[in-house]
C-alpha cells in the first residue's frame, strides 16, 4: 500500500516537474545517427546489433506505457533534437523498439544500471538544473514502464553470472550468538542482580538485550558509593590482565549521567558517562575522574587470575540508564558484537569433488525503512571440509548484482578447510559492507569468477 502511494506521489511530482519547465534543447547540431535501422529495416541498438531479448515482451502494453511514461513526458521534449533517428523517432513504434534496446532488459541488473539512467547519472543533457532530478525522474519513469511490463507477465532477464549458487531466502536465517573473543567479559542487566533504587525496565532498548536498569528521578544518594545500592554481575574473566570498563548507557542530562564502579568487592570509583541525549544509547568508556572532572586516561583495574569475579555498578545519580557492562583487555573496543542481533545466512556451494561446502554471510538488519532496507554484512565465511580457492565473489540479491553489494569482487584467496580460523574471507580492505536487501522478502545467492579446491 505504502509503495503504491509513493509511486503515485512520484509520478505526480514528475508531471508537475515537467509541465511549464525547460524548453526543448534548441540546437539540433548534436544530432547523432547511431543505432538506426539495419539493411532489412530491423531496429539496431546503440551497439549496431539488432534489438535483443524482446520476444516475450507484451508489445502493446509496452508501447502504450513507453508512450505515456517516457516518450511524451521526457524523450520528445528533451531528447528529440539529437535522438530523432533512434529512440525519439517520429514513428513511435520504431522509437519504442530502439528504446527497448537501450533499456537492456535482456541483461538486466536493476533500473539504475540501465543505459538511460546511466546517461542521466553522467549529467548527459539534463533538462533540469540538477542532475539528481534528471536521474530520479528517469528512474521513476523507467520503473513505471517496467511495472507495467511485469504486471503483464514479463520479467527482465538478469545477467547470467558464472558459478552461481541457488537462491536462499534471507528470512530463513535465525538469530545467532556470536562467539565473543576471550578478551571480553560482558553482561546485560538481564544477567545481573539489581538492588534499590535500581529498577529494571524494558520500554525503549534498541539492541539485542531488551532491558535496562535505571532509578527514579528525585532519588537522592544517602552517601557516596553505598555498596548496597548496586547492580551486580558475576563476570567470567578468561585471562588475567588490566581491564578497561565500558557500559552501554543512556543519559539525558549531566545531572543524571554518573555511577560508581566497583570490581571484585574492592574500592568504588566514580564513572561519569557522557550525556547521550534522551533518544540515544551509546557505549561509554570509563575514564579516570579527578576533582569530579573526567580526564582522558582510561580507567583500568587489574585481575590477577582467570575466574568469576563480582563487579557492580553503584547508584550515584538518578535517571542514568545502563543496559550492558563490558570489561575488556582490548584497547580497541567495538560494541557492535554486544548490541546487534546477527544472523547467519547459509548458501550451499557447488564445488566439484566437495560435499557440504557452503558460504555463510553473517549479517544484521541495518535499516528497515520502507524503500531503503539494508543489511550490514559483518563477514563472509567459507565452511568446507577442504580449503577452497575463491576468486571474485558476487553477492546477488534476487539474482541481481549491484555494485552496492560490496567489495568482494576483488577477493582472490584460499578459505575453508578443517581449521576454523581459516574460514573468514579477507577482503584486504574494509571489513563490513552493506547489501540493499529486505530480510523478510529477498533472496541471496552468490556467483564466483573461480571457486575450486585449492591447489
Query: Beta 412-416 vs 443-453: how paired, if at all?
Result: unpaired
- Write out the DSSP string of 37-68: B-TTS-BB-TTSSBP-S-TTS-HHHHHHHHII
Contact call for residues 344 and 172 (beta carbons, < 8 A): no
CA-nearest of 247, 172, 254 to 207 is 247
- Whichever of 115 and 227 has its CB closer to ligand HEC, that residue is 115
Helix ranges, 233-392 (H): 336-339
Interface residue with ligand HEC, options 73, 110, 116, 187 (CB under 6 A): 116
Interface residue with ligand HEC, options 7, 15, 16, 32 (CB under 6 A): 32
Position 153 contacts ligand HEC (CB under 6 A) = no
Strand locations in 71-144 (E): none
Could you give the CA distance from residue 276 to residue 297 in angstroms, rounded to a whole number?
20
Position 83 contacts ligand HEC (CB under 6 A) = yes
Position 46 contacts ligand HEC (CB under 6 A) = yes
Position 102 contacts ligand HEC (CB under 6 A) = yes
- Whichever of 22 and 428 has its CB closer to ligand HEC, that residue is 22
Interface residue with ligand HEC, options 10, 61, 92, 115 (CB under 6 A): 115
Position 34 contacts ligand HEC (CB under 6 A) = yes
Give me the 333-372 binding string for ligand HEC, x by CB under 6 A, dash otherwise: ----------------------------------------
Q: Which residue is listed with cell 524523450?
A: 75
Contact call for residues 379 and 414 (beta carbons, < 8 A): no
Which among 75-83, 193-201, 385-393, 437-445 is the span making contact with ligand HEC, rule CB under 6 A? 75-83
Interface residue with ligand HEC, options 78, 244, 246, 364 (CB under 6 A): 78
CA-nearest of 341, 316, 311, 340 to 326 is 311
Could you give the CA distance from residue 316 to residue 356 in angstroms, rounded to a whole number?
55
- Whichever of 89 and 365 has its CB closer to ligand HEC, that residue is 89
343 by Cβ neighbours in 10 Å (0-12 / 13-18 / 19+) ranks as: buried
Residues paired with residue 188 on neighbouring β-strands, in sequence order: 324
Could you give the CA distance from residue 222 to residue 262 in angstroms, rounded to a whole number?
17
Position 30 contacts ligand HEC (CB under 6 A) = yes
Would you call 449 helix, strand, or coil by DSSP?
strand
CA-nearest of 296, 139, 317, 301 to 218 is 317
Kindly state the greatest CA–CA separation across the chain. Answer: 96
Interface residue with ligand HEC, options 113, 119, 409, 453 (CB under 6 A): 119
The residue count for binding ligand HEC (CB under 6 A) is 18
Contact call for residues 66 and 146 (beta carbons, < 8 A): no
Which among 76-84, 230-238, 290-298, 437-445 is the span making contact with ligand HEC, rule CB under 6 A? 76-84
Could you give the CA distance from residue 201 to residue 193 in angstroms, rounded to a whole number?
14
- Whichever of 32 and 441 has its CB closer to ligand HEC, that residue is 32
- Whichever of 11 and 323 has its CB closer to ligand HEC, that residue is 11
CB of 51 to ligand HEC, least distance (A): 12
- Whichever of 104 and 416 has its CB closer to ligand HEC, that residue is 104
Interface residue with ligand HEC, options 18, 35, 198, 256 (CB under 6 A): 35
CB of 404 to ligand HEC, least distance (A): 22
Q: How far is CA 232 from CA 167, 240, 262, 312, 320, in A?
A: 47, 20, 9, 4, 16
- Whichever of 52 and 432 has its CB closer to ligand HEC, that residue is 52
Interface residue with ligand HEC, options 125, 143, 226, 407 (CB under 6 A): 125
- Whichever of 126 and 375 has its CB closer to ligand HEC, that residue is 126
- Write out the DSSP string of 396-421: EETTEE-GGG-SGGG-EEEEESS-GG
Interface residue with ligand HEC, options 15, 107, 124, 403 (CB under 6 A): 124
CB of 297 to ligand HEC, least distance (A): 60
Interface residue with ligand HEC, options 13, 17, 25, 52 (CB under 6 A): 25
Q: List contacts with ligand HEC (CB under 6 A).
A: 25, 30, 32, 34-35, 46, 78-79, 81-83, 86, 102, 115-116, 119, 124-125
Amino acid at each position: 500500500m505504502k509503495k503504491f502511494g509513493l509511486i503515485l506521489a512520484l509520478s505526480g511530482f514528475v508531471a508537475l516537474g515537467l509541465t511549464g519547465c525547460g524548453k526543448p534543447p534548441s540546437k539540433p547540431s548534436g544530432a547523432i545517427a547511431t543505432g538506426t535501422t539495419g539493411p532489412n529495416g530491423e531496429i539496431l541498438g546503440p551497439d549496431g546489433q539488432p534489438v535483443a531479448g524482446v520476444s516475450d515482451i507484451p508489445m502493446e502494453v509496452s508501447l502504450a506505457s513507453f508512450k505515456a511514461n517516457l516518450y511524451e513526458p521526457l524523450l520528445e521534449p528533451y531528447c528529440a533534437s539529437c535522438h530523432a533517428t533512434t529512440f525519439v523517432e517520429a514513428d513511435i513504434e520504431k522509437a519504442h523498439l530502439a528504446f527497448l534496446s537501450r533499456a537492456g532488459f535482456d541483461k538486466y541488473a536493476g533500473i539504475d544500471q540501465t543505459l538511460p539512467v546511466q546517461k542521466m547519472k553522467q549529467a548527459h543533457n539534463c533538462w533540469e538544473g540538477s542532475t539528481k532530478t534528471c536521474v530520479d525522474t528517469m528512474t521513476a519513469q523507467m520503473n513505471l514502464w517496467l511495472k507495467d511490463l511485469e504486471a503483464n507477465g514479463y520479467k527482465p532477464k538478469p545477467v547470467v553470472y558464472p558459478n552461481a549458487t541457488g537462491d536462499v531466502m534471507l528470512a530463513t536465517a535465525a538469530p545467532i550468538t556470536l562467539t565473543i573473543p576471550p578478551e571480553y567479559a560482558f553482561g546485560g542487566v538481564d544477567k545481573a542482580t539489581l538492588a534499590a533504587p535500581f529498577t529494571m525496565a524494558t520500554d525503549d532498548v534498541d539492541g539485542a538485550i531488551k532491558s535496562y536498569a535505571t532509578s527514579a528521578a528525585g532519588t537522592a544518594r544517602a552517601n557516596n558509593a553505598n555498596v548496597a545500592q548496586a547492580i551486580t554481575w558475576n563476570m567470567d574473566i578468561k585471562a588475567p590482565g588490566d581491564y578497561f570498563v565500558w557500559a552501554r548507557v543512556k543519559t539525558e542530562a549531566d545531572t543524571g549521567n554518573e555511577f560508581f564502579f566497583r570490581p571484585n568487592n574492592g574500592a568504588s570509583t566514580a564513572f561519569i558517562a557522557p550525556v547521550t541525549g534522551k533518544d540515544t544509547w551509546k557505549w561509554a568508556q570509563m575514564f579516570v575522574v579527578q576533582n569530579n572532572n573526567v580526564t582522558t586516561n582510561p580507567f583500568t583495574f587489574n585481575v590477577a587470575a582467570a575466574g568469576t569475579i563480582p563487579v557492580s555498578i553503584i547508584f550515584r545519580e538518578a535517571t542514568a540508564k545502563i543496559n550492558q557492562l563490558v570489561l575488556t583487555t582490548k584497547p580497541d573496543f567495538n560494541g557492535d558484537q554486544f548490541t546487534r542481533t546477527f544472523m547467519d545466512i547459509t548458501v550451499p556451494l557447488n564445488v566439484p569433488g566437495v560435499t557440504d561446502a557452503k558460504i555463510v554471510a553473517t549479517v544484521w538488519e541495518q535499516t528497515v525503512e520502507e524503500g531503503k532496507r539494508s543489511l550490514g554484512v559483518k563477514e563472509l565465511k567459507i565452511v568446507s571440509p577442504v580449503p577452497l580457492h575463491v576468486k571474485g565473489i558476487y553477492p546477488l540479491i534476487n539474482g541481481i548484482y549491484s555494485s552496492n553489494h560490496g567489495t568482494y569482487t576483488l577477493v582472490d584467496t584460499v578459505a575453508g578447510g578443517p581449521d576454523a580460523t581459516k574460514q573468514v574471507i579477507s577482503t584486504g580492505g574494509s571489513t563490513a559492507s552493506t547489501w540493499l536487501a529486505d530480510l523478510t522478502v529477498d533472496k541471496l545467492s552468490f556467483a564466483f569468477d573461480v571457486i575450486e579446491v585449492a591447489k
